[in-house]
Chains A and B, each alone.
Chain A
Amino acid sequence: GAVVSQHPSRVICKSGTSVKIECRSLDFQATTMFWYRQFPKQSLMLMATSNEGSKATYEQGVEKDKFLINHASLTLSTLTVTSAHPEDSSFYICSARPSTGADTQYFGPGTRLTVL
């Protein structure tokens, strides 16, 4: 089946540093990937849509200069949280939609970010 990985699974960093999270589709190509964040006991909120070879589309209220997204290949998208602060601590989940046009998305296992 389709597998999406995320790295790292867990990261702790100091306030003011930048953190990069990778999302990879392991056995399929994904023209489109999505980044979500999830606060404790809350649902997933879409942050941005990442399109291979073009700029990401951000949802209202998401700072594009703080959450940098790069989708350089059909199997890799990265999310960089710049100058992280404690309020950025959250669970970040990516999903990938196969380029074959399937209706579904496949989700990664998530990355737990803790900013001290």
Chain B
Amino acid sequence: KQEVTQIPAALSVPEGENLVLNCSFTDSAIYNLQWFRQDPGKGLTSLLLIQSSQREQTSGRLNASLDKSSGRSTLYIAASQPGDSATYLCAVHMDSSYKLIFGSGTRLLVRP
């Protein structure tokens, strides 16, 4: 059974810092991996999707990497801003059914 873990559970940093969020999964036979952002009481916004054959994806200040063999992904946020404060979730697709298995999330607070 696939299990997705995110570390740390919570993170507080001053504005301007670069930071890394970690995601690990127990079964490396994933179809793809996706990072989402969730604001309090809101739905999810997709940030980056990495296919199983890819090593990384970039969008603006965000960079996500994937090491499928070791069961790890990281989300790098450069020059963090208070507006980046949210919960960040990683999720894996195990097959083409597109069912997502989510990690527990990292709650990020960027202090002005």
Q: For residue B41, which residues in chain A have a CB less than 8 angstroms away from its CB?
A: 91, 110, 112
In the complex, which range does the number of interface residues on chain B fall in?
Answer: 20 to 34
Q: For residue A24, which residues in chain B have a CB less than 8 angstroms away from its CB?
A: none
Residues in A3-49 with C-beta less than 8 Å from chain B: 4, 6, 32, 34, 42-46, 49
Say whether A34 contacts B100, CB under 8 Å. yes
Main secondary structure of the interface of B (DSSP, over half): strand
Q: For residue A42, which residues in chain B have a CB less than 8 angstroms away from its CB?
A: 104
25 A–B contacts, CB within 8 A, in A order: A4-B43, A32-B98, A42-B104, A43-B102, A43-B103, A44-B100, A44-B102, A46-B100, A46-B101, A91-B41, A93-B43, A93-B44, A95-B44, A95-B100, A103-B51, A103-B98, A104-B46, A104-B49, A105-B46, A105-B98, A106-B46, A107-B43, A109-B42, A110-B42, A110-B43
Q: Does B69 contact A (CB under 8 A)?
A: no
In the complex, which range does the number of interface residues on chain A fall in?
Answer: 20 to 34
The CA-CA distance from A5 to B100 in the complex, in Å, is 19
Given A42-B104, A46-B99, A46-B100: A103 in contact with B89 (beta carbons within 8 A): no
Q: Does B34 contact A (CB under 8 A)?
A: yes
Q: What sequence of 0s and 1s flags, for each residue 35-69 of chain B, a beta carbon within 8 Å of any chain A beta carbon?
A: 01000011111100101000000000000000000
Say whether A97 contacts B98, CB under 8 Å. yes
The CA-CA distance from A105 to B45 in the complex, in Å, is 10
